[in-house]
Chains A and B, each alone.
Chain A
């Protein structure tokens, strides 16, 4: 690089196109348009020459030795392996257990199932038998006694319907119902 006096910029309408032209990012039509202009405009030609002298110099700012890159690579790989180990610590923990983990869990599951069935079977009959024994004997209904009580209810209701004799309102239900009962039992 050597010092030169400053130059004027490119034509305002073409400056962006010239940058794209330098980077070979223009379409065919645009490139042709720019080349036609460059053939007529010395200022824009100098602008493109400036870019060709300047921009590659900025791109190659670092020429580092191979030892730097070897060291960089080793460091990066070491960091990656450390990160990988940290993320997968649980895999390292259960790796020794893999050989007996599945059989152990399987056996435990079967044992739990068997115990559950065993205890479940014993408890069902005792529950059923106990339920009737716990009820008081007075509550347990006897069919014959129910029929007797029903007949008494019927008699009582009939005596209430009968019309009393004479001046008294005294019902004769008691005497008449008793006589019917006697007839029934006889």
Chain B
């Protein structure tokens, strides 16, 4: 009896396609943190990020039989997630701006859960930097933001980012460069 927890992504996908729906659950366990962080990079809101990333898992599960194995599972899944995030960003651009006022407080609470030694001064500066970063990320074009989040936050290679975004590596390099330059410009005083 094969243990799904020890299977590779492609093996789990094949098992799902054969009707073993429970084999999708290990994929959720593997990618839920990355999916959440990508969604958070777009929404800057915990609840929205959770909803979007969970929707992405549901959509991938519904379409699992359409996965043909030409790309890796995580590339295919990230593409689904990014499209959901971009749709969300288009629908609720103004809402994102309004939620920025709460962002630094929520970020501070979550950091305190992880590290109770966080000093107030550092907390204030980090909060302000986070706010600036959020503003800059939200202001930049979607493709630049996508390329930056996938490369910087998720650690995907430029080649993999190009596959997810269905574009060329040269284009991804341009997006990445512009995103980094914009962020650096807005946050240089906090470096």
Please give the residue numbers on chain A whose beta carbons come within 8 Å of chain B beta carbons, in ascending order.
Answer: 1-7, 9, 15-16, 19-20, 23, 25, 47, 49-51, 53-55, 57-59, 61-65, 69, 72-73, 75-77, 79-81, 83-84, 87
Contact = CB atoms under 8 A, between A and B. Distances in A.
B37 A50 contact: no
14 contacts: A1-B125, A4-B188, A6-B188, A15-B177, A47-B184, A54-B187, A58-B183, A61-B41, A62-B107, A62-B110, A63-B113, A73-B29, A80-B58, A83-B58
Given A61-B40, A62-B40, A3 B125 contact: yes
Nearest to A88: B21
Given A1-B191, A3-B125, 20 more contacts: A1-B122, A1-B126, A1-B129, A6-B188, A20-B173, A25-B173, A49-B191, A54-B183, A54-B191, A61-B130, A61-B133, A63-B111, A63-B114, A65-B113, A73-B28, A79-B54, A79-B57, A79-B58, A80-B21, A83-B58
B152 A55 contact: yes
Contacts of B126: 1, 57
B10 interface: no
Given A1-B122, A15-B177, A58-B152, A80 B32 contact: no
B42 interface: no
Nearest to A7: B188
Given A62-B40, A76-B54, A3 B190 contact: yes
A150 to B, nearest CB: 82
Interface in B109-153: 110-111, 113-115, 122, 125-126, 129-130, 133, 151-153
Contacts of B41: 61
Interface residues of B, number: 49
Contacts of B184: 9, 47, 50-51, 54
A73 B130 CA distance: 27
B157 A25 contact: yes
Contacts of B180: 19, 51, 55
A54 to B, nearest CB: 5
Nearest to A22: B180
Interface in B78-110: 107, 110
Given A15-B177, A63-B115, A80 B28 contact: yes
A20 to B, nearest CB: 6
A98 B86 CA distance: 46
Contacts of A9: 181, 184-185
A19 B61 contact: no
B33 interface: yes
A74 to B, nearest CB: 10
Instruction: Specify which of A5, A50, A54, A76 lies most central, judged by the most chain B CB atoms within 10 Å of its CB.
Output: A76
A56 B115 CA distance: 18
- Name the 9 nearest CB pairs between A and B, nearest first: A63-B114, A16-B177, A53-B191, A50-B191, A84-B21, A19-B177, A59-B153, A19-B180, A1-B190
A23 B153 CA distance: 12
Contacts of B58: 79-80, 83
A3 B54 contact: no
